[in-house]
Amino acid sequence: MKVRCNRDSLLSAFQMASSVVPARSPKPILQNVKFSATSSESLIMATDLEVGVRCQIEKVDVDQGGEAILPTQRVISILRALSDDEVELSNDGSQTQLAGKQSQFELLSDDPGLFPEIPVFEEKKTFHVIASRLMRELIRRTVLATDVENTRYALGGVLLELSDNQIRLVGTDGRRLAMAEGPAEGKGGHKTSESPHVVPTKAMRLLERVLHNDDSEIAMHLKANEMILRTQRATVYSRLVEGRFPKYQDVIPKEANRTVEFLAAPMLTAVKQAAIVTSDESRGVKFHFESGQLVLTAKTAEVGQSQVTLPLSYEDDAIQISFDPRYISDFLGVLDPETSITAAFAGDNAASLWKTDDGYSYVIMPLTTEQ
């Protein structure tokens, strides 16, 4: 194998693949990536056996095709250190040479045939077509509510639901729930069945990285135990999370006796200011909605107290409720600053529903006064 690559393009592909490579593994080869070059395409592949990615590398000249196993972090360090616009990769079977104009590195290499196969996207499959920008935004808005540490494994992923013309994503950690939806086009009758399709958080974070923030189309195929998604520059494969996902529709409040409207940016600023004095032991911020304003207060014995006032167009009965400010900031932080939000409350100790006009819903449980 002998190829010449644009250094920035190669580094970008390695960085994308590195998010899949496990830090430790009983199979040492998984801590590497597989480089494959043919006359038609050049790829970097990585997997932890649960999630896999095939990244296309742009700006590659192939003198001789072939494959090589490369140590992920070592190559990233080399590429970052080099100043060359172009680097050369060659492999003689036992070692790989990576060279710039004035630098050369020889790296020991394993047998590429030992690297696990990563599925490719098959055009003949039924699938859904979704705009890349939309899918990326749906992931950003829901993955924040997942809990990878929870023993209920299904909470460590995002639920995907596909109908003929819609996609819906739902994430929850048991204390909050995020749901976002948008248009999608099913091909060949592709849709999800009644059994839940929960994609692990790690795979969703990877998808967020590989998706372009544009209107290019991506293709997604789901079946009983796996997902495969193709973008313009990568294919991502993931096994689905086992376990029962909560009946999320039962969690969403159906009734509310008071609603408040506000913009994302001023509320986020106020919440962050009030939360400065909170701690792990006393993390609650009290939200006191009253005529014409919201007053946020927090108090901890070891730090002190805060009070922040935010003018609002609110003239209904007073509302006093406590929230974990991290959960509110997570929700507000993925929205455009000028996004209008409607928050609906059913009582001081009941879950509240925060919604935007573009199909994003966020349910959050209040804290007790002791928290």
Q: Integer distance in angstroms from the first to the last C-alpha of the chain? A: 61
pLDDT of residue 195: 73
pLDDT of residue 56: 95
pLDDT of residue 369: 59
pLDDT of residue 371: 44
Q: Mind spelling out the 3-state secondary structure of the chain?
A: CEEEEEHHHHHHHHHHHHCCCCCCCCCHHHHEEEEEECCCCEEEEEECCCEEEEEECCCEEEEECEEEEEEHHHHHHHHHHCCCCEEEEEECCCEEEEECCCCEEEEECCCHHHCCCCCCCCCCCCEEEEEHHHHHHHHHHHHHHCCCCCCCHHHHEEEEEECCCEEEEEEECCCEEEEEEEECEEECCCCCCCCCCEEEHHHHHHHHHHCCCCCCEEEEEEECCEEEEECCCEEEEEECCCCCCCCHHHHCCCCCCEEEEEEHHHHHHHHHHHHHHCCCCCCCEEEEEECCEEEEEEEECCCEEEEEEEECCCCCCCEEEEECHHHHHHHHHCCCCCCEEEEEECCCCCCEEEEECCCEEEEECCECCCC
**Would you say residue 194 has pLDDT above 90?**
no
**Would you say residue 152 has pLDDT above 80?**
no
**Would you say residue 320 has pLDDT above 80?**
yes
What b/e sequence results for 182-210 when a residue is b if at least 16 CB atoms lie within 10 Å of its CB, and e otherwise? Answer: bebebeeebebeeebbbbbbbbbbbbbeb
Strand 166-172 relative to strand 157-162: parallel, antiparallel, unpaired? antiparallel
Residues contacting 91, CB < 8 A, separation 6+ = 1, 2, 66, 67, 68, 97, 109
Q: pLDDT digits over 13-46, tens only?
A: 999 999 999 988 889 999 999 999 999 999 999 9
Lowest mean pLDDT among 72-86, 135-149, 186-200: 186-200
**Would you say residue 370 has pLDDT above 60?**
no
> Whole-angstrom Cα distance, residue 310 to residue 187?
48
Q: How far is CA 29 from CA 71, 95, 227, 310, in A?
A: 9, 15, 24, 55
State the Cα torsion 217-331-143-168 to the nearest 10°: -50
Domains within the chain, CATH numbers bracketed: 2-114 (3.10.150.10), 127-249 (3.10.150.10), 253-364 (3.10.150.10)
> For the chain, what percent of residues have pLDDT higher than 90?
83
pTM of the model: 0.91
**Phi/psi-derived region of residue 337, left when phi > 0, alpha when psi is between -120 and 50, beta in every other case:** alpha
> Whole-angstrom Cα distance, residue 68 to residue 73?
15
pLDDT of residue 193: 66
pLDDT of residue 124: 67
> Whole-angstrom Cα distance, residue 33 to residue 43?
10
**Would you say residue 76 has pLDDT above 70?**
yes
pLDDT of residue 69: 96
> Whole-angstrom Cα distance, residue 139 to residue 172?
13
pLDDT of residue 364: 97
pLDDT, mean of residues 302-316: 94
pLDDT, mean of residues 78-84: 96
Average pLDDT, rounded, for the chain: 93
Task: Determine the longest span between alpha carbons in the chain, in angstroms.
Answer: 77
**Would you say residue 217 has pLDDT above 80?**
yes
